């Protein structure tokens, strides 16, 4: 029986995230081509990694049909030019798809089945709206296994506001405005651009172009402006387009490896996977999912919340992040949380977002040798949460 090996995060990249719809960046770009671009960029940026040393390609998509179907991990690997000997597969855990791609291959690396893997995710919500082609079993509602609101993400966020009455719309709007401001600052400071891969886009009307920045951020967003937005999920509700993530297209990918293999190949390991956990919650309040998954991941790691120096929390909805912070006694504006901003500004192409969180955490770790541990966490449709705890390999205590 092989003994467990340390798993390290080597590098992560993503396409700029586009707005979904007929006028969005990727309206006429295939989903699989976004993944191919990411895989090729990972290989270009890591010339010490021989393509034949990649043992697995795991790519997530929530809606696995059309150009997001055909076992996308394998088909994108072949199209990206990896040797035909490199296998691949597809994953679906809704919003936590890319996160699950990473934890799945990490388990294989720790066990000794793989040395190096590429993991990521894609979602083209313009071509494939969430839930396209699905046929939910009528027993869900007929037998009251879930509340009817469980299948509409915005309704689950309104339910979360009900559960946490202290999280007002004003708090959600303030958090959203701060996210936009942090993203604008991160862009101005050149923090985001190093991990974006310029991606060719085409339009029958406008011809070819190059996507080099996220399309979603709205610099200059104010709480006053957000307060005027409609609440589409409930009359006089608290969830708006401004305090939730957008509907987006984009792809992410990363290289993970066994620690000693990264060293052997001369790859720079940026962070070590300490523990991970997934947890289930009532689907109608899926936004609380990161709370039990984080508690479990901390328990597995033998850590407490006070040991965590950086948090990358996916901002599906402001209320969901605020519920997490409230539970753990963390202030709404704690500087450890989403220092570069989050999905309210960047966007949330469902299955791809988990690796965006990891890539940003790795970049933040590089700037913060004083921080040892960080968390990437997200809520997941159908009532789940996912959390991965990472150790900063540049932590000054190591030296």
Which of 1-15, 138-152, 174-188 has maximum average pLDDT? 174-188
Count how many Cα atoms sit within 13 Å of the Cα of residue 209 in the half-sphere of its side chain.
Answer: 16
* Residue 95 among the catalytic residues: yes
The tokens describing 36, both together, are 């191919």
> Using 50, 70 and 90 to split pLDDT, how confident is the model at 131?
confident
Q: Is residue 157 exposed (0-12), middle (13-18) or buried (19+ Cβ within 10 Å)? A: buried
pLDDT score at 399: 59
Active-site entry in 124, 128, 254, 379? 379
Listing DSSP states for 335-376 in one string gives TTB-TT--HHHH---GGGHHHHHHHHHHHHHHH-TT--EEEE
pLDDT score at 86: 98
For residues 326-352, average pLDDT: 98
Residue 375: enclosing H or E segment and its boundaries? strand 373-380
pLDDT score at 397: 84
* Residue 348 among the catalytic residues: yes
Task: State residue 258 phi and psi, 5-degree precision.
Answer: -70, 140
What fold, for 7-126+245-391?
Peroxisomal Thiolase; Chain A, domain 1 (3.40.47)
pLDDT score at 2: 56
pLDDT at residue 38 is higher than 90: yes
Q: What DSSP designation does 128 have?
A: S
The tokens describing 99, both together, are 């996160």
By the 8 A CB rule, do 16 and 213 touch?
Answer: yes
| CA distance linking residue 106 with residue 98, whole number of Å | 12
For residues 260-280, average pLDDT: 98
Residue 300: enclosing H or E segment and its boundaries? helix 290-301
The tokens describing 361, both together, are 């955490």
By the 8 A CB rule, do 389 and 375 touch?
Answer: yes
Q: What is the pLDDT of residues 208-247, one digit of tens each?
A: 999 999 999 999 999 999 999 999 999 999 999 999 999 9
pLDDT score at 398: 67
pLDDT at residue 324 is higher than 80: yes
pLDDT score at 189: 98
Q: What DSSP designation does 113 have?
A: S
Q: What is the pLDDT of residues 282-321, one digit of tens each?
A: 999 999 999 999 999 999 999 999 999 999 999 999 999 9
State the chain's mean pLDDT as an integer. Answer: 96
Output the pTM of the full model. Answer: 0.97
Q: Is residue 51 exposed (0-12), middle (13-18) or buried (19+ Cβ within 10 Å)? A: middle
pLDDT score at 284: 95
Active-site entry in 95, 128, 161, 254? 95
By the 8 A CB rule, do 175 and 321 touch?
Answer: yes
Q: What is the pLDDT of residues 81-123, one digit of tens each?
A: 999 999 999 999 999 999 999 999 999 999 999 999 999 999 9
The tokens describing 169, both together, are 């719309």
* Residue 254 among the catalytic residues: no
């Amino acid at each position: 029986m092989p003994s467990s090996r340390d798993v390290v995060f080597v590098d992560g990249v993503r396409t700029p995230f586009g707005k979904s719809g007929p006028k969005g960046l990727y309206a006429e770009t295939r989903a699989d081509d976004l993944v191919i671009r990411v895989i090729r960029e990972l290989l270009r940026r890591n010339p010490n990694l021989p393509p034949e040393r990649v043992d697995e390609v795991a790519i997530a998509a929530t809606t696995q049909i059309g150009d997001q179907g055909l076992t996308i991990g394998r088909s994108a690997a072949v199209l990206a030019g990896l040797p035909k000997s490199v296998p691949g597969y597809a994953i679906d855990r809704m919003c936590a798809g890319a996160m699950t791609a990473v934890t799945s291959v990490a388990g294989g690396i720790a066990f000794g089945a793989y040395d190096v893997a590429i993991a990521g995710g894609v979602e083209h919500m313009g071509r494939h709206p969430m839930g396209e082609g699905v046929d939910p079993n009528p027993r869900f509602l007929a037998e009251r296994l879930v509340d009817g609101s469980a299948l509409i993400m915005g309704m689950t966020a309104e339910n979360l506001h009900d559960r946490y009455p202290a999280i007002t719309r004003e708090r959600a709007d303030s958090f959203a405005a701060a996210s936009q401001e942090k993203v604008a600052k991160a862009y101005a400071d050149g923090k985001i651009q190093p991990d974006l891969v310029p991606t060719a886009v085409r339009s029958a009307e406008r011809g070819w172009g190059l996507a080099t920045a996220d399309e979603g951020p709205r610099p200059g967003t104010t709480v006053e402006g957000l307060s005027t937005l409609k609440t589409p999920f409930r009359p006089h509700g608290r969830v708006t387009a401004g305090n939730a993530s957008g509907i987006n297209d984009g792809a992410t990918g990363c290289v993970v490896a066994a620690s000693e293999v990264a060293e052997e190949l001369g790859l720079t390991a940026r962070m070590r996977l300490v523990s991970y956990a997934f947890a289930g919650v009532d689907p109608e309040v899926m936004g609380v999912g990161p709370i039990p998954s984080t508690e479990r991941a901390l328990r597995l790691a033998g850590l407490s919340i006070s040991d965590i120096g950086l948090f990358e929390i996916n901002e599906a909805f402001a209320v969901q992040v605020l519920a997490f912070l409230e539970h753990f006694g963390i202030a709404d504006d704690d500087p450890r949380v989403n220092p570069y901003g989050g999905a309210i500004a960047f966007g949330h192409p469902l299955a791809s977002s988990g690796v965006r969180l990891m890539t940003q955490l790795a970049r933040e770790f590089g700037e913060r040798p004083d921080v040892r541990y960080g968390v990437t966490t997200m809520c997941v449709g159908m009532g789940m949460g996912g959390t991965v705890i990472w150790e900063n390999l540049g932590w000054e205590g190591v030296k």
